[in-house]
Structure 1
Amino acid sequence: MTTAVIDSTQQDVVVRRITCDDNAAIAQVIRQVSAEFGLTADKGYTVADPNLDILCEIYSQPRSAYWVVELNGKIAGGGGVAPLIGEGEDICELQKMYFMSSLRGKGLAKRLALQAMAYAKEQGFTRCYLETTASLTQAIALYEHLGFEHIDGALGSTGHVDCEVTMLKSL
């Protein structure tokens, strides 16, 4: 477990691997952040993710990992990496990077993305793919800063029909 003081108010941030006790809390974070950015069914987005309430089980699969971010003992974000379904053994996907507003602007998304990609490289992946939506401009800027390049079309079988931004990075 890694703990770091992140600002002058002495807020403690812990980044750790997900446990099954975290499923409900991280699912709530993902739903809340999605709604904050208008990524809801009433805005035309497909929001039914059958895995959202069982992320611990999903990321306990081989070559997969998910980390939650706690702020003062409460889960406020997370992100993970897993093999990209429908692609070769060398490509993974950066997945479910969601952060409550209380975590944004502190470098935690960058830290978590770098941690996930380091893990992916240890697992033998040579490329990392991601999908997002154009309205998430801060996320796109981060991914570009991390060396992800825009590609013309989707890879694999992610089921993310609403994600029109596709990016790829060599690890």
Structure 2
Amino acid sequence: MHKDTIVIREIEVEDNPKIAKAIRSVLVEMGAPKVGTAYEDRSLDAMKETYTDLKKAYFVLAQGNEILGGAGIAQLENYNGNVCELQKMYFLPEARGKGLGAEMMKTCLNFAKQVGFDHCYLETLPYMKDAQKLYEKVGFKSLSEPLGDTGHYSCTVWMLKDL
């Protein structure tokens, strides 16, 4: 697999089952609980339909007809403030270690700025250290408690970035 054959693009309807399978596969691989994480989100099987509002977008890593991962931006749920959330950023093993995470972050954060968000929030699992390093590298800072209520109570690492 060559990085130059992988594109970042907005999700399409036919990508729905592929991204759902990829995300669930990564969560299982990482030993994440199936409850209190994205694994059980109903939106996971209808990502294109979930990210249709003007201030929402979901991007996938595509190589031909294969979907290798993705990430999205949406208003932070149950929170009063101009804060978006980086959502469901997961990559299959073959897409890791190639700089694609940084490219995906750039795409998502640029979208968030373009639609007028002031801050970007995220939640992750404490043992997803590589992801946390990437988030810190692009300017996310750790928080001592969550913002809003995403329903992902198993994710106990919270971070915020000024846009």
Q: In which range does the TM-score fall when normalised by the shorter chain? A: over 0.9
List aligned pairs for 1:91-170, cutoff 5 A: 91-170=83-162
Match in the other structure for 1:77: 69
Aligned length, in residue pairs? 161
- Structure 2 residue runs of 5 or longer lacking an equivalent are none
Q: RMSD between aligned alpha carbons?
A: 1.5
Query: Do the aligned partners of 2:70 and 2:89 also contact (CA within 8 Å) in 1?
Result: yes
Q: 1:168 and 1:89 mapped to 2: Cα distance?
A: 13
Match in the other structure for 2:9: 16
Structure 1 residues 116-155: Cα deviation after superposition (integer angstroms, max 9, x where no partner): 1111011110100000001111000000111100011111
- Which secondary structure state, in structure 1, belongs to the residue aligned with residue 6 of structure 2? strand
Structure 1 residues 92-136: Cα deviation after superposition (integer angstroms, max 9, x where no partner): 000100100110001111111111111101111010000000111
Query: Do the aligned partners of 1:89 and 1:125 also contact (CA within 8 Å) in 2?
Result: no
Stretch moving more, 71-80 or 15-24 = 71-80
Given the alignment of the two structures, is residue 32 of structure 1 paired with residue 5 of structure 2, yes or no?
no
Aligned AA (1:22) = D
* TM-score, normalised relative to structure 1: 0.89
Query: Do the aligned partners of 1:130 and 1:168 also contact (CA within 8 Å) in 2?
Result: yes
Query: Do the aligned partners of 1:90 and 1:125 also contact (CA within 8 Å) in 2?
Result: yes
Q: CA deviation at 1:70?
A: 1.2
- Runs of 4+ aligned structure 1 residues displaced above 6 Å come to none
Q: CA deviation at 1:88?
A: 3.0
- Structure with the largest fraction of helix: 2
Match in the other structure for 2:43: 51
Structure 1 residues 48-87: Cα deviation after superposition (integer angstroms, max 9, x where no partner): 2111101111111230000111134311110010011122
Aligned AA (2:28) = A
Query: Do the aligned partners of 2:36 and 2:151 also contact (CA within 8 Å) in 1?
Result: no
Q: Which has the higher Rg, Structure 1 or Structure 2?
A: 1
